[in-house]
Amino acid sequence: MTKADVVLIIMVFILSIVSIFTIPKLLTSGENGKMIVVYLDGEVIHRFPLEEHEESEFIEFPFTVNNVEYTGRLETKDGYVRLHRLPDEISPLSIHADMGWIREPYQMIVSLPIKMYIAIEETEEEELPFDIIVQ
């Protein structure tokens, strides 16, 4: 092994460590607002703004599975969101509650038996039909 091989190995190692931290930041711009989006069977059923609060806030939302009405409960705090335990008859395992808190668009909470998932989406700023610098 030559000195060039050692330098190459060190460079690849450093780039891989740096990419672990930079790629998630590049995927999320962080300047736009974020929305909590609730999907049921692939369709959007609710959208809520994700705001930063020091205290926990709870959002209850209705949904229907097999013609029975249920209520889901989201908890938000400091820009994070989590889904509380759903009833045992529609989701017997608590995997969705054990997934914990999410904050970024590449994270999601899934309740597989009812095909429900919670995701974070960034809201896009509206493009104006004219240039702001117009006089």
Q: What is the pLDDT of residues 56-82, one digit of tens each?
A: 999 999 999 999 999 999 999 988 999
pLDDT over 90 (residue 23): no
């974020």: which residue's tokens?
34
Q: Sort 121 into a burial class: Cβ within 10 Å, 0-12 / 13-18 / 19+.
A: middle
- Residue 24 or residue 3, greater confidence: 3
Asked whether 118 and 132 are in contact (CB, 8 A), the reply is no
pLDDT over 80 (residue 134): no
